[in-house]
Structure 1
Amino acid sequence: MPVLRQVVGDTLRALRMRQRRTLREVSATARVSLGYLSEVERGQKEPSSELLGAICTALGVELSELFAQVSQSLRREEKLALTNRVALVGNAARLTPAPAADGGSAANVQVHSLPTVAA
């Protein structure tokens, strides 16, 4: 499951990089410390809505556009995770049984039921 702060950070970094702007430029315009903005972009800090609004304003992007892009990224990552889980389950069904401890094959192991006792 993707972590929201990481997806938000990746999306903010991508927006900034597309504009060919530096962290320093955006942090100055948004009035956010350079270090904090860097931590937000790396997914280490979860920004408040006010901070996100200031960063989006500095990038010239509406907050709703940021959330739309984050939503698309989350949807892709969730679908990928689901596909990987299904593939793992499908592969597990194809595994062959391990050999029995006595050296025989697991297919030759006999199962005996225990007698039931009436209460």
Structure 2
Amino acid sequence: MAVLRHVVGETLRAVRLRQRRTLREVSAAARVSLGYLSEIERGHKEPSSELLAAICEALDVPLSEIFLTVSDQLRRQERMAERTMVMAKAGHGPMLTPAPHREDGPQMRSVPKNVAA
């Protein structure tokens, strides 16, 4: 199951990196500590609505765009989890397990059912 703070953090980080901006630049513009912004991006902290609005303003991106992206990502993750559960219950297909962490976000890898990950 997806955790909202992880998806929000990944989304904010992706926007910042696309803009080729540093944590320091965005944290100064949003008036939030660099460490706290880093924790938000890594999904360790969940920002308040006021702080999220300040970060969006610093990134010059509408809050609604962040919510739309987060919503789309959550929907994809939920559908993937649902398909995986249906396949597992039916005894079809590979079991999905988390792959090693990558900078471009979470990935999944296929592992045969009879092999331990």
Does TM, normalized by the shorter one, top 0.5? yes
- Offset at residue 90 of structure 1 (A): 1.4
Identical positions, percent: 67
Taking the aligned partners of 1:22 and 1:74, their CA distance within structure 2 comes to: 26
TM-score normalized by the length of structure 2: 0.77
| TM-align CA RMSD | 0.9
TM-score normalized by the length of structure 1: 0.75
- Offset at residue 87 of structure 1 (A): 1.2
Structure 2 residue 77 is the aligned partner of structure 1 residue 81 = no
Bigger-Rg structure (1/2): 1
The total of aligned residue pairs comes to 92
Gapped regions of structure 2 (runs ≥ 5):
93-117
Q: Secondary structure of 1:73's partner? A: helix
- Offset at residue 79 of structure 1 (A): 0.5
Output the amino acid matched with 1:17. Answer: L
User: Which structure has greater helix proportion?
Assistant: 1
After superposition, where does 1:45-60 map in structure 2 within 5 Å? 45-60=45-60
Gapped regions of structure 1 (runs ≥ 5):
93-119
User: Which structure has greater strand proportion?
Assistant: 2
Output the amino acid matched with 1:58. Answer: A
Q: After TM superposition, which residue ranges in structure 1, 4 or more long, deviate above 2 angstroms? A: none
